[in-house]
Structure 1
Amino acid sequence: MRVLVSGGGTGGHIYPAVSLVKYIKKKHPDAEFIYVGTKKGLESKIIPDQNIPFETIEIQGFKRSLSPSNFKTVYLFLKSISDAKKIIKKFQPDIVIGTGGYVCGSVVYAAHKLNIPTVIHEQNSVAGVTNKFLARYVDKIGICFSDVASDFPKEKVVMVGNPRAQEVAGIQKSPVLNEYGLDPDTPTVLIFGGSRGALAINNVLLDSLSSFKDKPYQVLYASGEIYFDEVKKKWQSLGEELDNVKVVPYIKNMEHVLANVDVVVGRAGATSLAEITSLGLPSILIPSPNVTNDHQTKNAQSLVNKNAAIMVKNAELTKETLLSSIDQVMLNPNVKEQMKEASKNEGIQDATDRLYRLIVELTS
């Protein structure tokens, strides 16, 4: 089996693709892969580290306002289709899979024009611009949220879930919190704003740190690299009185940490929600306001509607709303257990297998 995967821009597009590649490798050890991305995108750092052959094309997104750069965008899009065709003809894939981001628009469209089976994967509850464009050309569309089905041709849509969920779901409890100076047997809240952090969450956390002093739970807080020095200075100024709070810039082994905490506080990106629900974790979600079509709010609302999460809007995020939301879950065992069960019911733990079966169907 020869598989070409494309997706880029954010981890939410890249990590599901990596999970899928890993799964197919287990099923077909002799399978061959190539990942097509951009030189500047996050995929250029993540994919080579995964030992997946990596090729690049040049492309950029449209500006929403009238801008001369949009002429360059059109030129690059047309050129990128030609470049993608060259890569496809050389690699001769059995199937081409797009997981979102501008780069996969050119690649998947080029594959369609070369009569190669195609699948796109939509992680969010609102379809991305690229996937909306590709919907008319691809053979199948895998989705994670039922709400997004209406954005695509009904006959092409298949509910598969997020491959990242299946990878995380199998992780067992461990003493990993020891690595962060925390007690694995103490109830734990994980707070983070994504891989780069979130300014609004950090500002509120700086005001809230001392309030955790006498809580019967501990806090692991990932601030993001660019905010770490400021947060660390504030945290250290509180001295030993705050030994139940640990601050780190970034958590590399996030999936293992997630498997060992009780509640997650953070943004509502699709991959994060897939990980959270696969483990049946209650969550307090603070959707980012800086995303296309406010899709994180819609992502979060899907869990709120099932009583699996509490949503605090970014504009309403204060020390008081944050602490009261955390206490609402952590200090009420019945609430925490009910949210845990609801979250678990929303998780799709065999997502990668579902997407794999779709691929097999198209390549048989």
Structure 2
Amino acid sequence: MMRERHFVLAAGGTGGHMVPAAALASELAGRGHGVALISDARGVRFPGLFDDVQTHVLPAGRFGRNPLGWIPAARQMLRGRSMAMELYRSFRPSAVVGFGGYPALPALLAAFARDIPTVIHEQNAVLGRVNRLAARKVDAIATSYGHVQRLRERYADKAHLVGNPVREAILALRSRPYPVLDEDGIFRVLVTGGSQGASVLSRVVPDGLAMLPVHFRRRMQVTHQARPEDIEAVRAKYAAHEIPAEIATYLADMPEQLAWAHIVIARAGASTVAELTAAGRPAILVPLPGATDDHQTENAREITEAGGARTIQQRNFTAKELAKQMQRLGLEPRALENAAQRAKGCGRPNAARELADLVERVADEHEGAA
């Protein structure tokens, strides 16, 4: 029987960092280990993700483009590092796992100082800034894609492809069949721009769907996540096109929404792509143009090349282009089912388990060398 250990997970306060951290926390807890979370004020307030995990908010300065802010940021980082070291004295972690974001950095710096094994997990297809800073000293780098840009070749021997962990409710969709789409059935479209919504989707999607063949438009049912300031305009557009649509700022039942969707129109954030490939849903992806290192375009590359999605850069994202790409992806049932299978083929459903295996292995190796 494996003995109980303690692990610290450190993540920035966005959903892209917190969701895989929560999936790993659940897997480690299920193996009988103790888990603690280090994040910022946003991260510890995520509903339902870390209800049974002890959480700690540590200061972490952000190093932006303005050099005048670097000294205060460094002071905050050092303060957070000291607080993390104090936590480690009592919690005694067997390893510290960083998921990116500046709030993860003090926890990793404290682990380096106390010679605690470290693992970082990269959700995107481009190594993030904090993970780039930590890559030289960590014991292992877990990746979500086979090829990760900005990951230096000299670190390749400690990189391990595990995938991007998703929630159990999403993973459960993998065993459910693609929803039946017959000639007279409802054609369901899910539109989501991530946790903050996306105004460009609200501007373009209703008009693009209105340009699809009449027999599809008459059967269409849309669920559209929109920003609060966009809701009334979006609702008016769908009404003018006579397309039934449910508009909301937040979709609390995202797993169920994804379960019945025949096609998804979305940004290409790491968690979104991981959920699409876990569930097996075809998509039209519109990468966020301002994303650091254009990582959303890289996130979309694998599923797009496999034939499970079409990618449209935002500068080219018009109603006409959306309608054209949806028809290319396939509006016939068999074509959509084929695209769904291709999307599913890109999924890595064992990501949480494999990441937990890696974390335990790193802890084992450190104890064996001690």
TM-score (normalised: structure 2): 0.87
1:154-198: per-residue Cα shift (whole Å, max 9, x none)?
121111001117662223659x9xxxxxxxx63322111111111
Query: Tell me, what secondary structure is at the counterpart of 1:55?
Result: strand
Alignment of 1:94-243 (within 5 A): 94-148=94-148, 151-152=151-152, 153-164=155-166, 168-171=170-173, 173=176, 186-208=186-208, 210-211=210-211, 215=216, 216-236=219-239, 238=240, 241-243=242-244
Asked if structure 2 preserves the Cα contact closer than 8 Å seen for 1:165 and 1:349, the reply is no
The more displaced of 199-208 and 292-301 is 199-208
**Identity in percent:** 28
State which of 9, 12, 17 in structure 1 corresponds to 2:16.
Answer: 12
2:6 corresponds to: 2
2:57 is matched by which residue type in structure 1?
T
The answer (yes or no) to whether the contact 1:190–1:263 under 8 Å persists in 2 is yes
Matches within 5 A, 1:237-256: 238=240, 241-243=242-244, 245-256=245-256
Check 1:59–1:357 CA distance in 2 against 1; reply closer, same or farther (3 A cut).
same
Q: CA deviation at 1:61?
A: 1.6
Structure 2 match to 1:180: none
Query: C-alpha displacement at 1:234, in angstroms?
Result: 4.2
Secondary structure, counterpart of 1:119 in structure 2? strand
Which residue identity is paired with 1:78?
L
Per-residue CA deviation, residues 85-126 of structure 1 (Å, 9 max, x unaligned), is 112222111211111101111101211221111111001110
1:182 matched residue in structure 2: none
Structure 1: distance between partners of 2:200 and 2:149: 32
For 2:14, give the aligned amino acid.
T
Mapped to 1, the partners of 2:295 and 2:49 lie a distance apart of 29
SS at match of 1:142: strand
Segments of structure 2 that go 5 or more residues without pairing to the other structure are 180-184, 365-370
* Matching of residue 32 in structure 1 with residue 34 in structure 2: yes
Preserved contact between residue 44 and residue 55 of structure 2 (Cα < 8 Å): no
Cα contact 1:209–1:235 (8 A) shared by 2: no
**Offset at 1:333?**
3.2
Instruction: Name 1:60's counterpart in structure 2.
Output: 61
Tell me, in whole angstroms, the C-alpha distance in 1 between the residues paired with 2:71 and 2:236: 46
Please tell me whether the aligned partners of residues 144 and 162 of structure 1 are also in contact (alpha carbons under 8 angstroms).
yes
| Mapped partners of 1:129, 1:262: distance in 2 | 36
Distance 2:27 2:192 in 1: 28
What secondary structure does 1:310 align onto?
strand
Closer, same or farther: CA 232–51 of 1 in aligned 2, 3 Å: farther
Residues paired across the two proteins, number: 349
Secondary structure class of the residue paired with 1:51:
coil
Give the residue type in structure 2 aligned to 1:3: F
When residues 100 and 43 of structure 1 are mapped into structure 2, their CA distance, relative to the original with a 3 A threshold, is: farther
> Hey, what's the Cα distance between the residues in 2 that align with 1:84 and 1:47?
24
SS in 2 for 1:93: coil
- The residue identity in structure 2 corresponding to 1:56 is V
User: Structure 1's 49 and 348: CA in aligned 2 closer, same or farther, altered over 3 A?
Assistant: closer
Secondary structure of the 2:46 match is: helix
User: Is the 2:58–2:84 Cα contact (8 Å) retained in structure 1?
Assistant: yes
Mean Cα deviation higher: 327-336 or 13-22: 327-336
Larger deviation: 202-211 or 6-15?
202-211
Alpha-carbon distance in 2 for matches of 1:157, 1:46? 31
In the TM superposition, 1:294-305 aligns within 5 A as 294-305=294-305
Verify the 8 A CA contact 1:48 1:54 in the aligned structure 2.
no
1:150 positional shift: 6.3
Deviates more, 1:226-235 or 1:189-198: 226-235
Alignment of 1:241-320 (within 5 A): 241-243=242-244, 245-320=245-320
Please give the alpha-carbon distance, in whole angstroms, between the structure 2 residues aligned to 1:323 and 1:265: 11
Q: Alpha-carbon deviation of 1:203?
A: 1.3
After superposition, residues 332-347 of structure 1 pair within 5 angstroms as 332-347=332-347
Question: Contact 2:11 / 2:21 at 8 angstroms: preserved in 1?
Answer: yes
RMSD of Structure 2 on Structure 1 (CA): 2.5
Q: Please state how far the C-alpha of 1:328 moved relative to its aligned partner.
A: 3.0
Q: Distance in 2 between matches of 1:52 and 1:35?
A: 7
Q: What is the CA-CA distance between 1:264 and the residue it aligns to?
A: 1.2
Contact 1:277 1:347 in 2 (8 A): yes
Greater Cα shift, 290-299 or 187-196: 187-196
Mapping of residues 70-85 of structure 1, within 5 Å: 70-85=70-85
> Does the Cα contact within 8 Å between 2:60 and 2:105 map onto a contact in 1?
no
Q: Secondary structure at the match of 1:170?
A: helix
